[in-house]
Amino acid sequence: MAGDLPGAATRAVVFDLDGVLVDSFEVMRRAFRTAYAEVMGDGPAPFEEYSRHLGRYFPDIMRIMGLPAEIEEPFVRESYRLAGEVTVFAGVRPLLAELDRRGLLLAVATGKSGPRARSLLGALGIAGHFAHIIGSDEVPHPKPAPDIVERALALLGARPEEAVMVGDAVTDLRSARAAGVGAIAALWGESEPGPLLAEEPDAVLHRPADLLGLLAPAPSGARS
C-alpha cells in the first residue's frame, strides 16, 4: 500500500460504478458499436480507444476522441435497452451488506448520468445501500476533477480525511486525490492494471472483500 489511508478513521466510502460495482463492459461495447454505426456509418467502431477513457463522462470522451456528440443519444438508448444484461460483480453484495452493518456512509460517484446510474442500481437491487448516487451530469466538472467526490462528501457529511474512493480508472484515482480522499484501485473488472498501478494508489484491491481489511472492524453496537 502506498500513502496513508484513513484506516480506523474511515467513515465514508465513495464507489465508482462501472467496473467496480457492476460488470457492464460487454453492454457498453455493444451499445457503443451500435451508436457508432448509426451516426458514423460503416467501419469498425473504435471501442478500444473508447475503453481507455472509461471513467469519464460520455460527452467528454466523445470530445477527446473527436467524435460527434450525436453518438450519445443512441448510446444511452442502447444502454437502457441492454441494462438487463448488466450484473453485479461477485462479492459486491456481501461487501455492501457488511459496510452497512459497520455503519459506514456510502455513495456512488460515476461517469454515467445520475438518472442512468440510479435506474441501473435500482433495477439490480442495490441502490438502497447508498445514501447518494451522483452522476457526472450533476456536478460542474466531471472526473478527473474533484467535484463529484467533493459533492459526495458534502452530501454524506464526511471530511476528506474520513473517506476513501474505490475506482477502476485513472480518472477515479485522480479525482479522489484531488478531493483529498484515499485513492483505492479495484482490479476485478476489465481495466488494465498497469495504468492504475502507475498512479500509485493508496491501496490495491483484487476482490471486493479486500476493502474490509483496510477498514476498522465493526463496533460492538453496529447494525446487524
Structural contact between residues 141 and 174, judged by C-beta atoms closer than 8 angstroms? no
Catalytic, 23? Answer no
In sign, the C-alpha dihedral spanning 107, 111, 112, 115 is positive
Q: How many CA atoms lie within 13 A of 24 on its CB side?
A: 29
Hey, what's the cell of 68?
460527434
Among 4, 16, 100, 210, the active-site one is: 16
DSSP 158: -
Structural contact between residues 63 and 178, judged by C-beta atoms closer than 8 angstroms? no
Among 18, 168, 172, 202, the active-site one is: 18
Catalytic, 202? Answer no
What residues are labeled active site?
A: 16, 18
